[in-house]
Amino acid sequence: MPTTLKRKGSPSLEDDTESSKRRFAEEEAAPQPDATAKTPPAQPAPTAADGARAPATSPANDDRAARFAALRARNQASRKANLKETRHEAKRQSTDPTQLTAINRKRDVAQHKLLKATVEESGQDFERKRAWDWTAEESERWDAKMAAKERNREGVAFQDYAREAGKVYDRQVGEMEKAGFEERRNAYEREKAEAVERAVQSGGLEIVETAAGELIAVDKDGAFYSTADAGGTAHIGNRPDRAAVDRLVADIRKAEEVRLKKRRARGKEDEGERDVTYINEKNKQFNLKLARFYDKYTADIRESFERGTAI
């Protein structure tokens, strides 16, 4: 009887069967855990507020977080201080200083009147009581100041050009005295005396004493060099130093600035580099009127005069 051949199975299926049997035997051989034993529940990993896993804390991280918090607090304090200063600056810029001065003056006047009324109601002398707070020196200085102010108020009226020139001269002399005029004057007197002595030693001058006791240096031509403050004139070839020239230039520029400032205060425009063809304001208006009517006829003639080709 012929033998029957069995179909050979797939190698992969046989291998899978064998591996499953082996895995089942290993599970039976392994010890099984006790079902009655209690196992602690698994704790979830700590996470940050945004869902990411929080880093482990350490002293370095704590120090860094403290410094960051201090910086944030400092930043907030600086922002508040800057905002406060900005508001103060805006308030100061919006306040007119002239109005503030006027308000303070009105407040002082009101306080003065209130105090005077209160003192007079009590039957006391207001001026006498107020003088208790002053010393004798302060009272004398105040009286002198008020007297000078009264004299200046009386002398503001225009009288003549000589008086106005005298006032300007007195003011300039006062300013020079404050700037060391006496030292410069003494230096000039010394230079003048030295020049006279040199002229006498050279034989060109002769010292003569007058009946009044004044010493006069007379030369051959009859000119004289007086050593007194009042009297003759001194013909000395003296060249001023650089500092004196600079002071003169500064005074001239200051006077010009004052003149232009007063002119602008009167509402008049600055002439600048334009030609001045008038001697006063009325003459200027008359010239403008002539120019308005006749410039269109005389333009060629004026241009010819400027070029020098006029016949």
16 or 190: whose pLDDT is higher?
190
Burial of 251 (0-12, 13-18, 19+ CB in 10 A): middle
For the cut 80, the answer to whether the pLDDT of residue 227 exceeds it is no
Q: How confident is the model at residue 231 (pLDDT cuts 50, 70, 90)?
A: very low
3 or 215: whose pLDDT is higher?
215
Give mean pLDDT, residues 167-173: 84
What value does the mean pLDDT of the chain take?
75
CB atoms within 10 A of CB 144: 10
- Report the phi/psi class of residue 32: left, alpha or beta, with left for phi > 0 and alpha for psi in -120 to 50: beta
Q: How confident is the model at residue 273 (pLDDT cuts 50, 70, 90)?
A: low
Helix (H) or strand (E) holding 207: strand 205-209
* Structure confidence at residue 69 (pLDDT): 92
Q: How confident is the model at residue 17 (pLDDT cuts 50, 70, 90)?
A: low
> 55 is written with which tokens?
């880093």
1 or 286: whose pLDDT is higher?
286
Identify the bridge partners of residue 225 per DSSP, sorted by sequence position: 217
For the cut 90, the answer to whether the pLDDT of residue 222 exceeds it is no
* Structure confidence at residue 71 (pLDDT): 93
For the cut 50, the answer to whether the pLDDT of residue 37 exceeds it is no
Say if residues 225 and 199 touch (Cβ distance below 8 Å): yes
DSSP character string of 120-148: HHTT--HHHHHGGGS-HHHHHHHHHHHHH
* Structure confidence at residue 56 (pLDDT): 56
* Structure confidence at residue 153 (pLDDT): 78
* Structure confidence at residue 178 (pLDDT): 78
Q: How confident is the model at residue 185 (pLDDT cuts 50, 70, 90)?
A: confident
26 or 128: whose pLDDT is higher?
128
37 or 170: whose pLDDT is higher?
170
* Structure confidence at residue 27 (pLDDT): 55
